[in-house]
Structure 1
Amino acid sequence: MSWIDRSRRGVMGLAASLALLACLPETVVAQQPVTVFAAASMKNALDAASTAWTEKSGIATSISYAGSSALARQIEAGAPADLFISADLQWMDYLAAQGLIDAASRTSLLGNRIVLIGARGAPAVDIGPGFDLAALIGDGKLAMAAPDSVPAGRYGKAALESLGVWPSVAAKVAGAENVRAALQYVARGEAPYGIVYRTDAAADPNVTVVGIFPETSHPPIVYPVAPLRDADNPAAADYLAFLKSEEARPFFEAEGFAVLHGDR
């Protein structure tokens, strides 16, 4: 067979393959991964839930974790994603105001608590109005996610303000780009104390929860989830339904999240 005949046969074979693919259902032709932008504090729980969903559906997920503020800004700038899970309502509201999410499908998924952490084995602290956090910190730093932009930092600042403590520690704050980074400051001994979510503290054996902030000292901690308005991945709706299902509940509760119901 000449090289011309072989080339013709190759072209004909390729054309036949393409024609066959065109006749197959879209789900068979390509299973596009579901792209998720999620708050850094969700990593352990969402990784576990996503693994279970992939095993069930055969569809992969691609998850970017960062501070909710950074993720919202990326979405605003046009970064492609199917779903956004924020650690607070404010950054979801921010995207909603610009028409960048599917507001009708928005759901309040999870709740959380903020805690004061210290090095492993640190003694308990009585958190209440006017407690002397500055004396505890001494010459060290208080690790927090950026208190003016990242949700965990904003919740922490609000709690300290409510308890009358913020003015005495504001200059001691070591702001981090997200709550997991703040956790690492304490885990590595770079800061004696830090404010993180309860779920983050549970994920690192090198820190100890020394106190839990009263829920009345800060706004309710709510993690809303919503598809992006221009997302066109048909699997995203199934993935979101899974996250809201009873099947996914154990993955979140195992990490200390409260599972919420209803839209906000």
Structure 2
Amino acid sequence: MTRRQILGFLSIVFAGLLLAIGLPFVTPSSGVAQSNTTILVSAAASLKEVLEEIKPLYQQSKSNVSINYNFGASGALQQQIEQGAPADIFISAAKKQVDALEQKGLLVAGSRTNLANNRLVLIVAQDVVGITSFYNLTDSKINKIAIGEPRSVPAGQYGEQVLKRLKLYDRVKSKLVFANNVRQVLAAVESGNAEAGLVYATDAKISNKVKVVVAADEKFHSPIVYPMAVIKNSKNISAAKDFLQFLSDSQAKTVLKKYGFIVS
């Protein structure tokens, strides 16, 4: 036997042994190269429902790509990324956090774009009556006003700006209850732990336990914009860019509009 014939014979014997003990015999041409990719998206808490609905739409054409989400306050997510926590994409509820990452060189150049805009609204429980404006927050029947922690929660930052512009902040400061993200604000009003709260219009839209009293005049706060970008340390930059592109396409925009987000 030649050396080639011996090697061929041994390969056949080895394959037979594998089959005999129930193990598959995989050849290099079996398609293993088509491995799955997982993208981790760190996103503002207010995007939870809309992004969960968009995920299967994307996977209809990208079945080998898994999308995992890490929802939280934009400021907290920014700090996680700065400290080296894994993330492929960051979507914030304000420019401030993405600006900070960009200035530190933590974003893929040219990947930044805006997802959508939103409105800030004052909410109360469905059975509350007599509250018709921000100025009613000074009434004695309002004991607790839920608001996001302004240093880490963009909704809280916008809320603080509105209250200060209306010269109400000092008058209601003792009533403020600070939450770790905007969904905690919503939950506080839903549960009755706060008589009023400041959330996004999209948060109010998903709840049947609260009602919108009034939307804040946009001139009283910074623009509510959701910038997104690919993280420089991502191991899946190409796939992350593709998902960002999908979020900017018409199919995703239809879902965003459904949940009350403002898209161009």
Smaller-chain TM-score range? 0.7 to 0.9
The equivalent of 1:221 in structure 2 is 224
Q: How much does 1:124 deviate?
A: 6.8
2-structure distance, mates of 1:20, 1:14: 17
Larger Cα Rg: Structure 1 or Structure 2? Answer: 2
Which of 48, 55, 62 is 1:57 aligned to? Answer: 62
- Secondary structure at the aligned position of 1:60 is classed as strand
TM-score by length of 2: 0.87
TM-score by length of 1: 0.87
5 Å matches for 1:76-115?
76-115=82-121
2-structure distance, mates of 1:78, 1:185: 32
- Secondary structure at the aligned position of 1:19 is classed as coil
Q: How much does 1:81 deviate?
A: 1.1
Q: How much does 1:211 deviate?
A: 1.1
- Secondary structure at the aligned position of 2:40 is classed as strand
Q: Can you give the 5+ residue segments of structure 2 that lack an aligned partner in the other structure?
A: 1-12
Deviations 1:78-132 (A, max 9, x none): 111110000000000111111111131100111000000000143474436xx24
2-structure distance, mates of 1:34, 1:137: 47
Aligned identity (percent) is: 36
2:162 equivalent to 1:159:
yes
5 Å matches for 1:71-220?
71-123=77-129, 125-127=131-133, 131-135=135-139, 138=142, 140-220=143-223
- Secondary structure at the aligned position of 1:80 is classed as coil
- Rate the CA distance shift 1:240–1:136 in 2: closer, same or farther, 3 A: farther
User: In the comparison of the two structures, how many residue pairs are matched?
Assistant: 249
Aligned-pair Cα RMSD in Å: 2.4
Q: Is the 8 A contact 2:43 2:70 kept in 1?
A: yes
2-structure distance, mates of 1:188, 1:229: 40
Q: 57-66 or 182-191: which moved more?
A: 57-66
Q: How much does 1:192 deviate?
A: 0.5
2-structure distance, mates of 1:152, 1:132: 20
Deviations 1:117-154 (A, max 9, x none): 000143474436xx24121653x210011123210000
Q: Is the 8 A contact 2:75 2:151 kept in 1?
A: no
Q: How much does 1:236 deviate?
A: 1.4
Q: How much does 1:25 deviate?
A: 7.3
Q: How much does 1:14 deviate?
A: 7.6
Query: Displaced runs of 4+ in structure 1, greater than 6 A?
Result: 5-8
Q: Can you give the 5+ residue segments of structure 1 that lack an aligned partner in the other structure?
A: none
